[in-house]
Chains A and B, each alone.
Chain A
Amino acid sequence: DAGITQSPRHKVTETGTPVTLRCHQTENHRYMYWYRQDPGHGLRLIHYSYGVKDTDKGEVSDGYSVSRSKTEDFLLTLESATSSQTSVYFCAISDNEKLFFGSGTQLSVL
């Protein structure tokens, strides 16, 4: 998976609890992204980063925050999880137009 590790691979949590997903890369790529995949919606961008401490919102950023304190790590936080955030979350990295994706995190919010 192009040197991308997502953790955890699966998580079940309760509504209202905070959740943090981690993406770690070994490729030293500048750009990192968080997408979510839902039936009928395809892949939608949540947040992305273009460098350490440099992040920006995507198309579905409400309810999510991110942090990038090191080149290799990009964290996605759900401050207070809701059932609508049940989804598969993919991290991606790039240095050009081609994105490389991790294996995904299946998150269930009950």
Chain B
Amino acid sequence: DQQVKQNSPSLSVQEGRISILNCDYTNSMFDYFLWYKKYPAEGPTFLISISSIKDKNEDGRFTVFLNKSAKHLSLHIVPSQPGDSAVYFCAATSRGYGNNRLAFGKGNQVVVIP
């Protein structure tokens, strides 16, 4: 059973506007969350993360919000740029596991229209 869920498989957004990607999780043991970005024919690359002790983490144009009570997180990209066109994966883990295993969602395809 999938523990990390990303709905709305694809998103198209105009350059300069905001992209919002959503992610839900079911495992209450998860306490660390990550977003990865993937271009075709390349491996996923780490984008941004957030610990469960925070509700927001910002890095340049990327901000991740965490709502623990709703078991929901979102990634905001502002402003969106054509180079942001990629597949974005949400991932989660429990630091208590001690093995750094990440559970991934199915991914969201983002297309930024120039």
Interface residues of A (CB under 8 A from B): 1, 4, 31, 33, 35, 40-45, 48, 50, 56, 58, 90, 92, 94, 96-104
Provide a sorted-by-A list of 17 A–B residue pairs whose CB atoms are within 8 angstroms: A1-B43, A4-B43, A42-B106, A43-B91, A43-B104, A45-B102, A50-B99, A92-B43, A94-B100, A96-B100, A97-B34, A98-B34, A99-B46, A101-B36, A101-B44, A102-B43, A104-B42
Docked CA distance A94–B101 (Å): 10
- B99 A41 Cβ-Cβ under 8 A: no
Interface residues of B (CB under 8 A from A): 6, 32, 34, 36, 41-46, 49, 89, 91, 93, 95, 99-107
Extra contacts besides A90-B44, A104-B43 (19): CB < 8 Å: A1-B43, A31-B100, A42-B107, A43-B89, A43-B91, A44-B104, A45-B102, A45-B103, A48-B99, A56-B99, A96-B100, A97-B34, A97-B100, A98-B34, A98-B46, A99-B102, A101-B45, A104-B41, A104-B42
Nearest first, the 6 closest Cβ-Cβ pairs linking A and B are: A101-B43, A42-B106, A43-B104, A42-B104, A94-B100, A101-B44
Docked CA distance A45–B103 (Å): 8
